[in-house]
Amino acid sequence: MCPQEISPRQRRLRAAIVLALPLLAVADLGAILWARSRPSLSSVPSQALRDAFSASYRAGDLVVASPPSLATPALSLLGSALPQNAFTFADPSRFERALELSLGGPRSRDLSGWKQADEKRVGPVRLRTWVNPKPLPSRFDLVASLQPNDVRVTHGPSPSAGQPCSFSSSNETDLPPSSPLPWSPRARFSCGKDPAAFVGAVALEDRRGILRRCIWIASGSDTVRVTWPRVPAGTLLRTAAIVAAPLAPNPNAELRVIVNSALVAQRQIHASNTFEPVDIAVSALSAGGELSIELEQRSGALLPICVEATLR
């Protein structure tokens, strides 16, 4: 069965909610979400759900919710029971355990192949515990390490791309209506005058309704390079990339992976609407070193690409 397409308005609304999660009181956020989503959520006994979640949750668990159309409002029901550093909207392959909030239907597609260890019923919500039989532990999360002390971000004409992008953590900036994000995140590296020309951690939804935290990379017609100068040892880089918005009539870009100044992989991106993981061998990082992700725009117009990446 074909997945239900998500309208641009719905995507912007969910992106706005995800961007707001660290900034708003969860109770207020829950009220907003209830008002804008299905009435059935109002029948969930929130405190009982929070108590059950707290009893099952372990530090390091992945937290998911299904169906995708209710994932964000369902997670908001957890309130302060969901730790600020909890893992949500992440590639599930690296986790040993997951807690799922299900409001009907089959398991989350993120947990395909996992084994169910427990299930509790809290009103209309089923709280399930899942175990991953073959986890692929992550050594370094590039999205989580997008901080000024951990990364260098530059842009400019290829191949140098040597002009620094300025870091800001003050105010959001409104983005064009055609963008899947209503505004930029506060913490971002600005790479030009266009408000959408920045590098920053966001959460975007693909056409299947799956949300992922990823690195928004855009700088008009320039090349953008994001460099982590000190990454731990690893041999496999798992990446997934989508075209963030149809801001260019003919999407065309090249994504390159550079390890210790040597090109190890390149990928043409013409159009992609789903987060499909691609594994890249990076044996040159077996002892650690410098890792760069470089995006060269070839459309002649702004083409944001959102990249999820972890080092294994």
Q: Is 248 left (phi over 0), alpha (psi -120 to 50) or beta?
A: beta
Query: Does residue 2 fall inside a structural domain?
Result: no
pLDDT given for residue 92 in this prediction: 93
The average pLDDT across 86-101 equals: 94
Tell me whether residue 215 is in a domain.
Answer: yes
pLDDT digits (tens, 9 = 90+) for 8-23: 556 555 555 555 444 3
Among 63, 96, 131, the domain boundary falls at 131
- Residue 102 in any domain: the answer is yes
Same domain, 95 and 191: no
What distance in Å separates the CA atoms of residue 178 and residue 197, rounded to the nearest whole number? 14
Residues 232 and 263 both lie in one domain: yes
Q: Examine the domain organization and report whether 186 and 119 are in the same domain.
A: no
User: Could you tell me if 110 and 257 lie in one domain?
Assistant: no
Q: Quick check: is 264 in a domain?
A: yes
- 107 and 148 inside one domain: no
| Residue 114 domain-assigned (yes or no) | yes
- If one compares 158 and 223, the residue with the highest pLDDT of the two is 223
Is residue 18 situated within a structural domain? yes
Q: What is the mean pLDDT of the chain?
A: 83
| Residues in Cβ contact with 5 at an 8 Å cutoff, skipping those fewer than 6 apart | 207
- Both 171 and 288 in one domain: the answer is yes
Statement to judge: residues 67 and 194 lie in one domain: no
Q: By CB neighbour count within 10 A (0-12 exposed, 13-18 middle, 19+ buried), where does 10 fall?
A: middle
pLDDT tens, 128-185? 999 999 998 899 999 999 999 999 999 998 877 889 999 999 888 888 787 778 888 9
Average pLDDT over residues 247-275: 81
CATH code of the domain covering residue 160: 2.60.120.510
Residue 246 pLDDT grade (very low, low, confident, very high; cuts 50, 70, 90): low
Q: Report the domain count for the chain.
A: 2
Instruction: Please report whether residue 182 resides in a domain.
Output: yes
Residue that terminates a domain, selected from 69, 104, 131 = 131
Peptide bond into 8 cis (omega under 30): no
pLDDT band at 25 (very low <50, low <70, confident <90, very high): very low
pLDDT at residue 255 tops 70? yes
pLDDT at residue 226, as a whole number: 96
Same domain, 104 and 177: no
How far is the C-alpha of 210 from the C-alpha of 65, rounded, in Å? 10
Residues facing 228 on adjacent strands: 291
pTM as predicted: 0.78
pLDDT band at 242 (very low <50, low <70, confident <90, very high): confident
Domain boundary among 106, 131, 156: 131
The residue with greater pLDDT, 55 or 297, is 55
**Same domain for 217 and 125:** no
Per-residue model confidence (pLDDT) at position 40: 64
Q: Does residue 197 share a domain with residue 95? A: no
Domain that holds residue 69: 8-131
Torsion of CA 182, 185, 189, 190, to 10 degrees: 30
The reply to whether 98 and 204 lie within a common domain is: no
The answer to whether residue 1 is domain-embedded is: no
- Name 76's Cβ contacts closer than 8 Å, sequence gap at least 6: 17, 21, 26, 29, 30, 33
Query: Does residue 161 share a domain with residue 97?
Result: no
